[in-house]
A and B are shown apart, each in its own frame.
Chain A
Amino acid sequence: MSKEADKTDLLQEVREEVRGNRYEDTGGINPRYSMVFRTVSYVVFLGGVLLLPSLVNGLQLRLATLASIWFVATMGLQVLMGQAGLVSIGQAAFVGVGAYTAAILATKHGFSFLLTIPIAGISGVILAIIVGFPTLKLRGHYLAIASIGVGQIVLVLMVNWRAVTNGMDGITSIRRPVESNRMYFYITVAIGLAIAFALYSLRQTPVGLAFTALRTDETAAGAMGIPVAWHYLIAFMISGFCAGVAGALFAYNEGFISPYGFDLGQSILLLTMIIIGGLRHISGALVGAILLVFLPPNLEFLGSSYMLIYGFAVLLVILFAPDGAAGALLKLRNFLLRKISASTRKVETP
């Protein structure tokens, strides 16, 4: 009888600690403190988002809106690259497909914003299935190569399939659901946070564990019952969905789209965001998007070669700090919480 009770206790204890430690090292931290810290930071973040439009000028608000749009696209890359361990160098193509889908549905067929956003996401999913289905049954590098190809193909179609895309002239007068920049900023943030919440919840389920397993040892994962190719494909579909939604948000935000915004340079920018922001954490997508949207004005001394800096930054981060900026921030937070936990523990039990 007591043995049963012991087992339940042990299970409870192990479960709490293992779950808490799965994606970051929370050892030695009083759970109450981390709860308090979490609550405070959420309140501060939401307060900041609500107040931001009143505090900054029009250009900065525009950049903030862009950051939250790229946050959505980059979250997809976090699932694909950070969780499943695959590489895509064509994320902008998926953003582009979402943008054109939304733009065409909105301008030519009068679809409402609430309909076009999910449809744009699904368009990204469909593209992911077309590309991912044959490649993911093979090996990782096939997807990376195919993703560059997809980027090129989508661009060719955008430029040359004039009947649908209107070629280089692009699609104009895409009308936003709300007039005010402030409201549209709130909408993009709300969609971004909703997707972040869903992805975060998914990672907390055993699905996150399955992704970790196949990222670190594909053969062992398959031998332990994880359908490898299916899970890769799903990670790719999630990535495509996020990109498609981001594309739709982008199209509405700009009011005008042309092939220019969806080339390889944009794909590399999104990839840079997640690497520098931090592959291992969903928050890395947010940190990366904010950093890279607000950084470029300071790099103008390099002229059109500013990507040189990105190249070096990506190389250095991936080699020496693969957890990126978000990883560093979380480590700092955990370090401080650990210190506080240790000092208060001493006071309580002398």
Chain B
Amino acid sequence: MSAENFLEVDSIRQEFGGLIALDDVSFAVRKGEIHGLIGPNGSGKSTLINVMTGIYKPRRGTVTVSGTKLTGMRPDQVYAAGIARTFQNIRIWPELSLFDNVMIGAYRSSQIRPWNALLRVRKLKQRVNGMEEATLDALTRFDLDRYAKRPAGSLSYGQKKLLELARAVVASPTLLLLDEPAAGLNPVEVNDLQIRLRDLVDGGTSILVIEHNMKFVMGLCESISVLNFGRKIMTGTPAEVQGSPDVIEAYLGSTSFQTSQKS
């Protein structure tokens, strides 16, 4: 693989009780690229993100981001290495305010810890101020600042998805892993999301996005990897992927490909 690759996933293998969830999956993402990860349900996409973020330990293989090996790290260490994610089924803290939800994402880089929080009051104040400013900036970026004080559970579905994104970018990660960010959004929201993600990429963030909405993926991503039954079928440009008979075959039987293309 070439030296300009930013994220490298190298022969990742994962099994659950004899079932092979990921079978030697490899691909690479360049810096500042939006890379799509598609495949039918159960093809191992979310599992791969869980492996990349340290929630699962893979049987074999490595994930590196600009030379730093992520495999073997705990989830919080992966986050500290500049990789943030969203979840397929939204995981926010519904009882906390939007502000607190996002502020939690700024905790790691604030260097505030239980053992130093009470020691140097002035420094603590500075750090908390820094966290709060970053939090408001992230909320503003996704037009959520007016709801900052509300409990997150009171938001609409689309807004919750935006909140997850705001939380993911608060610590200015270099790589974003998005698990179906467009699922459940209406066409207007999908368009809006596309613009926001492009904006993030223009700011230097790289993005790996899992998505079922083919129109969204094809319009957004520069390159796409396709998974089927835990195996990577191909990596290519949207045009190459759409023209590949292997990919079409993988989606045969499950109609999601055609229907999503129409929508």
Whether A222 contacts B75 in the complex (CB less than 8 A), given A11-B132, A210-B104, comes out as: yes
Nearest chain A CB to B190's CB is how many angstroms away? 24
Checking A212, A225, A234 against B108 with a beta-carbon cut-off of 8 angstroms, the contacting residue is A225
Which of A15-23, A257-265, A315-323 touches B?
A15-23
Query: Within 8 Å of chain A (Cβ to Cβ): is B20?
Result: no
Measured between beta carbons, the chain B residues less than 8 angstroms from A216 are: 93, 95
Checking A217, A223, A226, A228 against B107 with a beta-carbon cut-off of 8 angstroms, the contacting residue is A226
Which of A197-205, A246-254, A283-291, A302-310 touches B?
A197-205
Checking A10, A209, A219, A228 against B100 with a beta-carbon cut-off of 8 angstroms, the contacting residue is A209
Give complex CA distance A213, B94 in Å.
Answer: 11
Nearest chain B CB to A76's CB is how many angstroms away? 14
Supply 25 A–B pairs (Cβ within 8 Å), ascending by A.
Answer: A7-B140, A10-B136, A11-B133, A14-B99, A206-B117, A206-B128, A207-B113, A209-B100, A209-B104, A210-B107, A212-B93, A213-B93, A213-B96, A219-B75, A220-B93, A223-B87, A224-B76, A224-B79, A225-B79, A225-B80, A225-B107, A225-B171, A226-B76, A226-B104, A229-B74
Is A217 a contact partner of B74 (Cβ separation < 8 A)? no
Measured between beta carbons, the chain B residues less than 8 angstroms from A229 are: 74
Query: Within 8 Å of chain A (Cβ to Cβ): is B212?
Result: no
Query: Within 8 Å of chain A (Cβ to Cβ): is B23?
Result: no
Give complex CA distance A7, B145 in Å.
Answer: 10
Give complex CA distance A17, B110 in Å.
Answer: 21
Give complex CA distance A206, B107 in Å.
Answer: 7
Q: Could you tell me which residues of chain B, from 82 to 101, have a CB within 8 Å of some CB in chain A?
A: 84-85, 87, 91-93, 95-97, 99-100
Measured between beta carbons, the chain B residues less than 8 angstroms from A209 are: 96, 100, 103-104, 107
Checking A11, A205, A219 against B117 with a beta-carbon cut-off of 8 angstroms, the contacting residue is A205
Nearest CB in chain B to that of A238: its residue: B114
Q: Could you tell me which residues of chain B, from 124 to 147, have a CB within 8 Å of some CB in chain A?
A: 124, 128, 131-133, 136, 140, 145
Is A202 a contact partner of B118 (Cβ separation < 8 A)? yes
Contacts beyond the supplied A202-B117, A209-B96: 15 A-B pairs with Cβ under 8 Å: A18-B100, A205-B112, A205-B128, A207-B113, A210-B107, A212-B93, A212-B100, A217-B93, A220-B91, A224-B84, A224-B107, A224-B108, A225-B107, A227-B74, A228-B74
- Tell which of A22, A212, A225 has the most Cβ of chain B within 10 Å: A225
Give complex CA distance A226, B55 in Å.
Answer: 13
Measured between beta carbons, the chain B residues less than 8 angstroms from A187 are: none
Measured between beta carbons, the chain A residues less than 8 angstroms from B59 are: none
Measured between beta carbons, the chain A residues less than 8 angstroms from B16 are: none
Checking B79, B93, B133 against A223 with a beta-carbon cut-off of 8 angstroms, the contacting residue is B79
Checking B95, B115, B124, B132 against A15 with a beta-carbon cut-off of 8 angstroms, the contacting residue is B132
Query: Within 8 Å of chain B (Cβ to Cβ): is A231?
Result: yes
Query: Within 8 Å of chain A (Cβ to Cβ): is B36?
Result: no
Query: Within 8 Å of chain A (Cβ to Cβ): is B69?
Result: no
Interface residues of A, count at CB 8 A: 35
Identify the A interface with B (CB < 8 A): 7, 10-11, 14-15, 17-18, 21-22, 198, 201-202, 205-207, 209-210, 212-213, 216-217, 219-229, 231, 234, 238
Query: Within 8 Å of chain A (Cβ to Cβ): is B105?
Result: yes
Is B108 a contact partner of A226 (Cβ separation < 8 A)? yes
Give complex CA distance A11, B130 in Å.
Answer: 11
Query: Within 8 Å of chain A (Cβ to Cβ): is B149?
Result: yes
Checking B76, B114, B124 against A222 with a beta-carbon cut-off of 8 angstroms, the contacting residue is B76
Identify the B interface with A (CB < 8 A): 53-55, 74-77, 79-80, 84-85, 87, 91-93, 95-97, 99-100, 103-105, 107-110, 112-115, 117-118, 124, 128, 131-133, 136, 140, 145, 148-149, 167, 171
Is A224 a contact partner of B105 (Cβ separation < 8 A)? yes
Checking B107, B114, B131, B149 against A21 with a beta-carbon cut-off of 8 angstroms, the contacting residue is B149
Nearest chain B CB to A239's CB is how many angstroms away? 12
Give complex CA distance A226, B106 in Å.
Answer: 10
Is A212 a contact partner of B96 (Cβ separation < 8 A)? yes
Nearest CB in chain B to that of A228: its residue: B76
Nearest CB in chain B to that of A231: its residue: B114
Measured between beta carbons, the chain A residues less than 8 angstroms from B131 are: 206
Give complex CA distance A224, B84 in Å.
Answer: 7
Is B118 a contact partner of A223 (Cβ separation < 8 A)? no
Nearest CB in chain B to that of A222: its residue: B75
Is B148 a contact partner of A14 (Cβ separation < 8 A)? yes
Nearest CB in chain B to that of A235: its residue: B114
Nearest CB in chain B to that of A208: its residue: B117
Nearest CB in chain A to that of B137: its residue: A7
Checking B55, B97, B104 against A224 with a beta-carbon cut-off of 8 angstroms, the contacting residue is B104
Is A220 a contact partner of B87 (Cβ separation < 8 A)? yes
Measured between beta carbons, the chain B residues less than 8 angstroms from A201 are: 118
Give complex CA distance A281, B110 in Å.
Answer: 26
Give complex CA distance A220, B149 in Å.
Answer: 21
Nearest chain A CB to B146's CB is how many angstroms away? 9
Question: Which are the 7 A-B pairs with shortest beta-carbon distances?
Answer: A225-B108, A225-B79, A222-B75, A220-B91, A205-B117, A234-B114, A227-B76
Measured between beta carbons, the chain B residues less than 8 angstroms from A213 are: 93, 96, 104, 107
Is A234 a contact partner of B115 (Cβ separation < 8 A)? yes
